[in-house]
Every structure is written in structure tokens, then in C-alpha cells.
Amino acid sequence: MANQLFRPDTDDSYNADKQAVLDNYPQYTDQVYAVTVGSETLYRGNFTGDQLLDKIKDVKSSLPNVKVGTADSWNKYQDGTADPVVKGADIV
């Protein structure tokens, strides 16, 4: 599996990345602790916090034994943009 983060900027990229994780996860269940959905998607303005949280919840429902969260710029946590994600993701 390529060393990449979910970058859910488009439905096509999101679906392809999600499928790649789902296809490969069974081989690595003892090694995968968490999956990151998005990388600075709030910072770039691709999604609102609620929209990103929906993607995180979607991945979580497909990988119930894996922590799911995101990574973003500190200022998105400070200004409240990431509040829905903070309240709903497993890790940030």
C-alpha cells in the first residue's frame, strides 16, 4: 500500500483511497492503530468541519476496530473550524 493519507478532496480520490485502505487493512490488522482522513483539508477550505467529520464517520463505520481522525493546521483548531471533528473523531 502506498504511504499516503486520505485526501478526500474529491469523491473520486476519497473513494479510491478508502478502497485501497479497505483492500489492504486485513493484511495489517496487528499493525494499524489509526487512519487519517484528510490532511489540512480544513486549512485549504476544501471542507467544513461537519463535512470532514462525515468522511471520518464513513471510514470509521468501515473499520470499526481502528481509530479514525484527521490532521490539520493548529489555527483551524483554535478558530473553531475543527470543532465538529474534535467532538466526533477518535484522534486529531
In the chain, where the domains are located: 11-25+32-88
From the CB of residue 57, how many other CB atoms can be counted at a distance below 10 Å? 14
pLDDT of amino acid 12: 83
Residue 1 binned pLDDT confidence (cut-offs 50, 70, 90): very low
Indicate the DSSP class of residue 68: E
Q: What is the mean pLDDT of residues 25-54?
A: 93
Tell me: pLDDT of 92 over 70: yes
Per-residue confidence (pLDDT) for residue 5, from 0 to 100: 53
CB 35 within 8 A of CB 68: yes
For residue 14, name the pLDDT band (cuts at 50, 70, 90). Answer: confident
| Residue 68 pLDDT greater than 90, yes or no | yes
